[in-house]
Structures are given as C-alpha cells and as structure tokens.
Structure 1
Amino acid sequence: MTPHVFLTRVVLRNYKSIARCDVRLGPLTYLIGANGSGKSNFLDALHLVRDALVNSLDNALNERGGLNEVRRRSSGHPTHFGIRLEFCLSDGRPGRYAFSVGALSGGSYEVQVEECAVGPLGSGPAFRIERGQLKATSETTFPAVTADRLALVSASGLAAFRPVYDALATMGFYNLNPKLIRELQKPQDGRLLKPAGENLAGVIGHLERTAPHVMQLIEQYLQTVVPTVHGVERKQIGPMESLEFRQEVIGAKHPWRFQAQNMSDGTLRALGVLTALFQGSQDARPSLVGIEEPETALHPAAAGALREALHRAACQTQVIVTSHSPDLLDDSQLSPDSLLAVVSEAGETKIASVDEGSRTALREQLFSAGELLRLDQLAPDPEVLAQQALRQAELFGEAVP
C-alpha cells in the first residue's frame, strides 16, 4: 500500500520558541531532540490549527495561555505568529492553508491574513482574507467573516473548501495520560480518540462494534509490547465505562480479568498509543496522528514492536512522533528522510533534516539512528538552517521549491 501523506510542508513563524521553521514531512516523521528543545512546540502549532477550526481561535489561544504565551518571546518582541500548511487531499489535489495572528492594543488580537487555495494558483478554489475583509475568492458567494475568527470555519459550508476543513479538523494529537485512562469514564463519542485518552474506553467499544479486525490488531501489538496481557475490552459500570484487561497470572489456567485502575502506566499508555495509531475506519480515520514520546513508560525491549506499529500505521495515516529514545530508533532500515533533528540555541528552537554526515552513515548502514543519537550525532543540518534563515519562506502565496 502506498502511504498517503496529508501535510507535505510546514512553515512556522514566531510560534512559541520557534522563530522560523520550514520543513517537509513524509508518511512517518520522527522529531528527535533533547527535553526542552522545542519538539512539542512544533506539534502544538499543528494542534492549534485543529483546535481553532473545531472550537474557535479564541478558545485555542486561551487554552495555551493567550496570544502572549503563543507568540515567540525575544528581544525583538514579535507581535504576531504565522502558520503555513501545504497539503495533499485524499483525492490527490495539492493545496495550502496559511494564516497570521497579530496583537492589538488592549490585549486583543486579529487574524491579519488568512489564505486557502486548492490546486495551482488561479486554477482552483481559493480565498484571501485581510483583517476581516474578503480580498479575493474564486467563489461567487462567500460567508461573512470577522477578524477574530478563522474564515475557513465559515467557508467549510462551501463544497469547495469542505475537504480542506475536514482534513485539518481530523488531525489528532496525543499526549496520553494514564491517570485519565485509569479512571471511570463517561460514555463519549468513540469514533476518534481525544488528546489525553480520556475517551479510550469509548473508542475501544466503538472498534469492537465496527472494526473487530482493527481491535484484533491492537490486541496483537499490545501483547507483543506487554506479553502478559492477552486482551482488553470495554466494560459498562453503571452509568460509566471502563476497560477490562485479560492478564496472565502465574499458576492460573486462564488469564485473570483486571480493571484499568489495576494496570500499570506503561500498559495503559501502550494501549492508548496503539489505539491512536490504528483508530477509525477507512472513511473515518484521522488525516494525521501526532504522538508525544510514545515510548514513555515502556520497557526498552518493547521499542521494536512499537516501531513496527508506527511504520504499519503510517501506511494508512500520516504519523509524527516526538522522541529522544535511542531504542526506538535502533533500526538500520530507518530512512534519514524520516528524521527531523531539533535543538535549542539560546532559547530558540531550530528544526531541520539531519546533517549530511549522519545521512551518509544511515544510508550506508554504518550506524543506526539510535546509535547516532547515543553518540549525540543527530543534529540539524547547518546548511539547511542557513538556507531557512536566508530564504525566509513566505507564509502566503504560491508554493516555492
């Protein structure tokens, strides 16, 4: 199966610790860097787009502490941040969506520019909004827009832009919380997993009903990662729901059943990660899955099974993971194109493909990516970083090579 890549390029300006970023993405991308380097900020920029479309821009900013906590802090005091996403829709059409948000006096903000285009410039659906004013569009009619909201939300009512909205709104981002997974959960929509796993029982129940083959695959990987666990299922407990695990016990002829509150953090996180990767059906699957440090709380010996699951999932859904685990990267077949190195210099996050020396070592299989990480030899290519600084890729307008 040829994997479908939804986001092909991401350009960021002044987002949290990231002054500038211009990277290409593939089916599976590993963001590699030390704690505090800014890996999570890259994923959070994409998450903000999703949150601003599904809820509202105001809500997305407030959840992150407001505009002042989102735009980069520096001696230059930037008053805005910007995001540009280039994508390929499921029907093969390329496109781009970009916006910049700037501060106003009194602590408020405005969407300075917002632009969306599907297909080559001038030949497909497109619109451009500047400070709440429609400047250009391919459509004969266009809904009312305001400067404090993203216009794509209103434009999603038009058939021309609905595929863009749907694809961006179904991106999923995960930092699994075993505490929330362990607690009894209110019955919730189980079609897509929520960011911390707070509806994991509902998602498992939905898969049991609609995609038992997917549930079987998740259980197979879970047993590979945690050999004593033989299965899991959703359980109704009064008005609430939980998870029940079947686990091998020494001396017992059959696996015993344990509620989620009795399971380890590693087991619950592993189940959450696997569910995030394989959730959904053919027509209701996330366009992209981003996972924070999927190896957390897992035994190093489980890294191989987790890596295999990531690669398998990337055949049907684009995957981005943050990691600083050499064990997860100990694969001689790992392509250097799947790695983005992240470093922090004087508080500024820099992201680029790995340097040419490391790429050569990986291509010639002299070292695995994990071995290079242990040797502290996975760093952003300085030439690529220099090109990023010189080029200052535009947030708006036609794509440049």
Structure 2
Amino acid sequence: MALIEGLKIQNYRSLRDIAMGRVGTDQALRNTQPLTPLTVVIGKNGVGKSSIFDAFGLLADCMETDLETACNARKRGGFDKLVSAGIDGPISFTIYYRESKNDRPITYEVSIGKDDKSGLPVVVSERLRQRRKNQSKGRPLSFLHLEYGKGSVWVGDESLEGDDFARREEELDPRKLGIVTLAEHIKENPRIKKFKDFIQSWYLSYFTPDAARQIPQAGIQKHLNLHGDNIGNVVQYMERNHPIIFRRILDEISAKIPGIGTIEPYRDTITNNLYLLFKDKGFARPFTQQQMSDGTLKMFSYLLLLNDPEPVPFICIEEPENGLYHKLLETLASEFREHATGRKRASQIFITTHQPYFVDALEPNEVWVLEKGSDGFSTVKRANEIPFVQNMVNEGQPLGSLWYSDYLDAR
C-alpha cells in the first residue's frame, strides 16, 4: 500500500508554512516520525482545516486539467485567492511517500506561481527525487527536474540525476503539471506514471446527503464517487458481485443504527430508476434514500467506501461527524483505523474534524492540532509532542476531553 509519510504546504491560504510527518529532503523533518496510516487534524473553526483538505484537492484536480481550471474549480476563485496574503512567492507542495513498505521513498516538490506576461498560473518548478538503491545518506537525486516546463527527465527504472547517458531534455507546457504530460509519453520511467496514478486515485470525499438522495439510472458502478450520488449503483454492483461483503455491510448498518432492518436496491422497470429501500423495523412500508436521515446515508456511504473490494490508496474526509449521532463517532473512528492499520491495511486515511467525541477514540500520535496565530497564519503540531498529553492519555484521560478542556494547545 502506498503511504504518504510527510507533507509540506507553503503559501496556500492560511497555510504559509506547515509541515506534517517526515519529509526526507528537509533536514529539519528528516528524522521526525512519519504520518500514521490514520491521520486526523483537529482545530477550531477557521484555523485552516479546510485549506489542508483543499490542498489535496487542488493537486488531485491538477491531474485532470490545467492549473488555471484547477485553481478555479470547486469555488476556489483562482490563483490570487489561493496564495497567502502578503506573499509574493509561489504556492508550494511537498509530498514524501513510498509506493510500498519496502520501496525507497520518493519526494515530489512542485511550486505554482503566475506568469508575468499572461498572468496565468504556471508550474515554476517541479521535481521528483529518490535515493539510489544502496544510498542511505545524502540528498536524494532527481529523476525529474523542470523549471517553467523546461528541464530534464532521467529515463529508466533506476536512472537518476548524474546518469548523463539516460538524461533527456524536455520542454513542456508550464500551464500543466509536468508529471501529467510525461506519464503519457515516457514509458521508460514508470516511477513518474506510478506517482501520477497514485495522486489521481485519491478519494477526496465531497459527500453530501442531498446528492446521495438523488435517484440514479439503474446500472452497476464499482466505486463510490466523490459526491456519493451513485450510491445506489454501487449497491447494485456489490449485491451482484460481492454478496458476502454486501451482506456484512448491511449487518453492520443494522447493528449500528437502531431501527434499520434491511437495505435493498430496487429498480423501477418503467423509468429504469434505481432506489434504495430501507426497511425500518417500526414501519410497514420501506423508505427510499430520499426519506432517510443524513446520518444514516453518511454512515452507509462510509461503510461502502471502506469495504470497496479494490480500495484506493488514500482517502481524505472533511468533518465526517456532521449529521451523525455522537455515540456513533467512536465506532466510525474505529472503522477508519481498522481499515488503515488492520491486517490488510487497505488505505491511508486523512481526516479533519472538530468533534471531541471522535477524537476520544484516537491516539495522540494520530492527531495533529492546527491553530491560527495572531498573524493570521496557521501552525500545526502533533498531539503527542505537546507536554503531558501522552502521559495523561496513558493514565486514562480521553484525548477529546483533553482537547475540550484546552490541554491541546499547540502554541
């Protein structure tokens, strides 16, 4: 399973300069502990949790389109609305990840600025780095290095900066990420395509109950989409192709949400529309998804996502607690952890929340506290690095209660 061990975000909204986990190309972060398979960012309203979520979203959108379109997508408002106030430099992202547990880590660094002539966002610099097989110290070498679309790529599975015989000069459109263009044209360096595919496969949840209430046309779909409006199609696929997994999901829903008996897909043969029928134990006739509560639909969608037979490597969810009964939150946190850290370790999960009941189920090394300083910019710190917190949890104090009582002060 691919795993992000660390990330760094600079000049993105209130995130002028934050780092989480291990980033091997940064001396100050090289020896820190990597991100855990389940990573949760907590903080008050307005401290920048949504900005971290959207930073992942911007990178993912850049895999599908040009930078200008991505900067305007999802109501972002364009590049000028994204760059930190008072900053002249570019927006920068660094991701430090492993394709699998035994692979050497790869660092991806990208900076996005504005073209002086056109005023459009462009890739100022872009780099992929990795150490040689037997190299354990020193700065990783580049196998992709571009400045404004111009630079070098080293072709071959193991070729790196310095292997001049494998060096290939490139001149690309700087309005798009270089890894997107090169992944399509350079077959000799599969690491570039693997990394691009890794980001492109991220699941960033923009789930809304109203979207899930839409009645889709019948037809199977293998994976839940970002908004959840194809939930009926995924149910149809699971029921037909993975009946044992599907039955387990239904049993879990029935056990966790009082009153829910069974959930079945139903296709209207006249309109070909697909309905979910929720049979409530207290009612003679079943309900459709249009009549179910926000919490039931959300819990159902999360269990579908976590039981995907072909899971994505990275899941990012903003405020999963919205609409859920507070006693369900500990159960949900346990489901997320089991998915991320269990025997199969299906996906890494990154969550933002401000719900203490959810945080009660977490460990201090899984939690990062985001706060905003007097200058308007955010800072972040791991909960187990805050004095006394780990000791208090070891003595039986729930982490969410400590946060509620203002013990988790990252400043």
TM-score computed with the length of structure 2 as normaliser: 0.82
SS in 2 for 1:221: helix
Asked whether the 8 Å contact 1:277–1:289 carries over to 2, the reply is no
Matched, 1:372 2:396: no
Larger deviation, residues 308-317 vs 121-130:
121-130
Given residue 398 of structure 2, which amino acid in structure 1 is its aligned partner? Answer: S
1:1-400 maps to which residues of 2 (within 5 A)? 4=1, 6-24=3-21, 25-63=35-73, 64-73=76-85, 76-90=86-100, 92-93=102-103, 94-105=105-116, 106-120=118-132, 126-139=143-156, 140=166, 145-157=172-184, 158=187, 159-186=190-217, 190-237=221-268, 238-249=271-282, 256-279=285-308, 281=309, 284-315=310-341, 316-331=346-361, 334-346=362-374, 347-354=376-383, 355-362=386-393, 364-380=394-410, 382=411
Higher relative contact order (CA 8 A, sep 6+): 1
Cα drift, residue 151 of structure 1: 1.1
Question: In the alignment, which residue of structure 2 is the partner of 1:395?
Answer: none
Larger deviation, residues 222-231 vs 180-189:
180-189
Identity percentage of aligned residues: 23
SS in 2 for 1:356: coil
Distance 2:45 2:246 in 1: 33
Cα drift, residue 224 of structure 1: 3.3
Cα drift, residue 143 of structure 1: 6.7
CA-based RMSD of the aligned residues comes to 2.4
Given residue 370 of structure 2, which amino acid in structure 1 is its aligned partner? Answer: V
Given residue 38 of structure 1, which amino acid in structure 2 is its aligned partner? Answer: G
SS in 1 for 2:357: coil
1:179–1:220 Cα change, 3 Å: same
Cα drift, residue 46 of structure 1: 1.3
Distance 2:241 2:109 in 1: 36
TM-score computed with the length of structure 1 as normaliser: 0.84
**Structure 1, unaligned stretches of length 5 or more?**
383-401
Distance 1:278 1:101 in 2: 36
Distance 2:70 2:238 in 1: 29
1:188–1:350 Cα change, 3 Å: farther
Larger deviation, residues 55-64 vs 315-324:
55-64
Distance 1:365 1:180 in 2: 43
Cα drift, residue 68 of structure 1: 1.1
Q: Deviations over 1:151-187 (max 9, x none)?
A: 1112223233222122111111113211111121256
Larger deviation, residues 117-126 vs 258-267:
117-126
Distance 1:189 1:102 in 2: 42
1:142–1:154 Cα change, 3 Å: farther
Given residue 27 of structure 1, which amino acid in structure 2 is its aligned partner? Answer: P
Distance 2:140 2:293 in 1: 54
Cα drift, residue 195 of structure 1: 2.1
Asked whether the 8 Å contact 2:219–2:236 carries over to 1, the reply is no
Q: Deviations over 1:81-112 (max 9, x none)?
A: 01011111136322121200001234312100
Question: In the alignment, which residue of structure 1 is the partner of 2:31?
Answer: none
SS in 1 for 2:195: helix
Asked whether the 8 Å contact 1:186–1:241 carries over to 2, the reply is yes
Question: In the alignment, which residue of structure 2 is the partner of 1:392?
Answer: none
Asked whether the 8 Å contact 2:356–2:404 carries over to 1, the reply is yes
Number of positions where the alignment pairs a residue of Structure 1 with one of Structure 2: 366
Cα drift, residue 33 of structure 1: 0.8
Cα drift, residue 61 of structure 1: 1.0
**Structure 2, unaligned stretches of length 5 or more?**
22-34, 157-165
SS in 2 for 1:116: strand
Question: In the alignment, which residue of structure 1 is the partner of 2:161?
Answer: none
Asked whether the 8 Å contact 1:180–1:198 carries over to 2, the reply is yes
1:149–1:265 Cα change, 3 Å: same
Asked whether the 8 Å contact 2:224–2:305 carries over to 1, the reply is yes
1:91–1:328 Cα change, 3 Å: closer
SS in 2 for 1:190: coil
Cα drift, residue 144 of structure 1: 5.4
Q: Deviations over 1:356-389 (max 9, x none)?
A: 2212222x23411111122122232x4xxxxxxx
Cα drift, residue 123 of structure 1: 8.3
SS in 1 for 2:60: helix
